[in-house]
Amino acid sequence: MSSAKFAEEFNLLIRAKYPIIYVVTVEEERAEATIEQTIKVNNSLREVIYYDLVHGFAHNNEAKNNLLQALQVVEQAPTNLHLVYIFRDLHRRLGKQRTDEMIVRQLRNLFRHLRSSRKTLVLISPILEIPPELEDQIAVLNFPLPDAEDIKTAIHKMVPLHQLKLSPTGLDQLVIACMGLTLDRIKNVLARPLAQKQYISETDLDLVLKEKQQRIQQTEYLEFFAPDETLDRIGGLDNLKEWLMQRRRAFSEEARAYGLPNPKGVLLMGIQGTGKSLCAKAIAHLWRLPLLRLDVGRLFGSLVGQSESRTRQTIQLTEALAPCILWMDEIDKAFAGMGGTSTDSGTSQRVFGTLLTWMQEKSSPVFVVATANNINALPPELLRKGRFDEIFFINLPSQAEREQIFMVHLQRFRPATLRDFDVEHLAQLAAEFSGAEIEQAIIEGMYRAFNENRDVVTADIEGAIKDTVPLASTAREQINYMKNWAAQGRARIASSGDQNQIS
């Protein structure tokens, strides 16, 4: 939603005489300015009155630190006056663990009163907290982070033209870099180069990206990655690579002009160590998009309502950063057993439902890469058509793929002596090894040689392989289940060499 769309929705609620509107935003000042402008343009007769616990009502300081009295003032105001009351930070008195029963009752009384008046109560808060008794009485609107037009306007207002030493392309890049930040953060970060050198240039993009990285890190459940892995680092998986290459221009303007919709995402399933996480990073690098890793488990907070709030914030922040890649790592662990009896008052179901609905209906250019080790643990709803563009099964590497994986890692560790290693022999010994286990075998071989003060040779890696028990030996049933599941046409095979073996 853009700020213009928010203004349109807010005006519609005012015209429809919604008694109580809850606006969720971390940008209180900007949201209030938008609300005032919307009211001024559409109904200049309405007066806006502000209230917070510290100052009371802004025009007369009445009802300081007395919320109940403030709500009674709203109720007692003449019903024929066009008034919009904006109350700040009411969430602290409405949270499910600290609900003020008197305030809830007064809001319910006020709802009935406001329906027959020309007054509207607007609650502004960075956190959505609504007790069950008020869920049907309060309309909720999420105020969006600034879009490209908002950011460009703010930059031109803040920075004089002679201090903006950017080409049109550079300005567009700066605007895109600022997406996902509040206007306050944008102004703060741009103030630094202005104070230091009195102008802004393309070299200052890194400052904005660092600020964005810091903003994402503050969420604790989103992590910003600078994608530096390439498809060349991944051995095998030719079917998956071809699929990705066909979509490398999926988020371009040319794709939209051609009539293609934004791709939704891909689910990568396979046992640990088969390269699923590496693929997520490589996709971001190939498509040249920012990569956000979502730790789904950390969405669940200890406070009631916190999990749902974090989920909404994640969606809003991710969409503000679009186009981007959202990597949901090991999603099976977060939502395992969703079909069973809930032990968290339905929190996990609500979080899961919110994510599913967003994945199904999102129109923003956010490509979801979900990884799973155990397809049997995933809720069936997640696998339904429309959530992902495709589901890929990543099997253990074949002989040819193991040779490729050995070559990839030996090229990284020992490029000068690469031809001295018997890669075919090592690949044969490492049957049922995953890519991660092959890498560790090489590192273990290097440690053995290092301990004897010499360079690593084939025999060192051979010894490491023989001393390693691969995960496949203990996860055989899980692998067979996923193979059978994929063979039924429920997933595409990531490697063409596996096609005959699995089917």
Retrieve residue 393's tokens. Answer: 């099964």
Checking DSSP bridges between strand 222-225 and strand 291-294, what pairing results, if any?
antiparallel
Tell me the CB-side half-sphere exposure of residue 388, using CA atoms within 13 A: 23
Domain ranges of the chain: 3-142, 148-218, 225-393, 399-468
- Per-residue burial over 59-90, b if 16 or more Cβ lie within 10 Å, else e, is eeeebeeebeebbebbbebeeeeebbbbbbbb
How sure is the predictor about 139, in pLDDT bands with cuts at 50, 70 and 90? very high
**Residue 325: strand, helix, or coil:** strand
Computed over every residue of the chain, the mean pLDDT equals 86
Residue type, 161: L
Check if the beta carbon of residue 139 is closer than 8 Å to that of residue 22: yes
Quote the pLDDT of residue 503: 47
Lowest-confidence segment of 237-241, 387-391, 489-493 by average pLDDT: 489-493
Instruction: State the pLDDT confidence band at 167, using cuts at 50, 70 and 90.
Output: confident
Most confident of 79-93, 216-230, 328-342: 79-93
CATH topology match: 3-142 vs 225-393 = yes
Q: Which of 196, 175, 195, 197 shows the shortest CA–CA distance to 186? A: 175
What is d(CA 244, CA 406) in angstroms, rounded to the nearest whole number?
23
Residue-wise pLDDT tens digits, 50-75: 999 999 999 899 999 999 999 999 99
More confident residue, 222 or 66: 66
DSSP 45-58: T-EEEEEETTTEET
Phi first, then psi: what are they for 435, rounded to 5°?
A: -60, -40
Under 8 Å between Cβ of 327 and 293: yes
Q: What is the mean pLDDT of residues 27-34?
A: 94
Q: pTM of this prediction?
A: 0.69
Give the pLDDT confidence score for residue 342 in this predicted structure. Answer: 52
Say if domain 3-142 classifies as CATH 3.40.50.300. Answer: yes
pLDDT above 70 for 38: yes
pLDDT at 421: 94
User: Cβ neighbours of residue 132 under 8 Å, at least 6 residues apart?
Assistant: none
Minimum mean pLDDT range among 93-97, 248-252, 361-365, 400-404:
93-97
d(CA 57, CA 65) in angstroms, rounded, equals 10
CA 392 to chain centre: 22
Residue 294 confidence (pLDDT) above 70: yes
* pLDDT score for 501: 52
CATH 3.40.50.300, applies to 225-393 = yes
CATH class of 148-218: mainly alpha
Q: What is the DSSP letter of 44?
A: T
Alpha-carbon distance values, 358 to 66, 93, 329, 361 (Å): 39, 29, 17, 5
Where would I find the H helices in 301-422? 306-321, 331-334, 347-361, 399-413
Q: What pLDDT band is residue 305 in, cutting at 50, 70 and 90? A: low
pLDDT band at 125 (very low <50, low <70, confident <90, very high): very high
293: DSSP letter: E
For residue 440, the tally of other CB atoms under 10 A from its CB is 17
User: Which DSSP string do the residues of 205-264 spell out, in sequence order?
Assistant: HHHHHHHHHHHHHTTSSEEEE-----GGGS-S-HHHHHHHHHTTTTTSHHHHHHTPPPP-
pLDDT given at position 86: 96
Contact indicator for 193, 207 with CB cutoff of 8 Å:
yes
pLDDT of residue 445: 95
Least confident stretch, 104-113, 373-382, 449-458? 373-382
- The model's confidence at residue 472, banded by pLDDT at 50, 70 and 90, is confident
Identify the CATH assignment for 399-468 out of 1.10.1740.10, 3.30.300.30, 3.40.50.1100, 1.10.8.60. Answer: 1.10.8.60
Burial classification of residue 237, based on how many CB atoms lie within 10 Å of its CB (0-12 exposed, 13-18 middle, 19 or more buried):
buried
State the average pLDDT over residues 336-362: 73
Q: Can you read off the two tokens belonging to residue 99?
A: 């609900």
pLDDT-derived band of residue 9, with 50, 70 and 90 as boundaries? very high
Identify the pLDDT of residue 97.
66
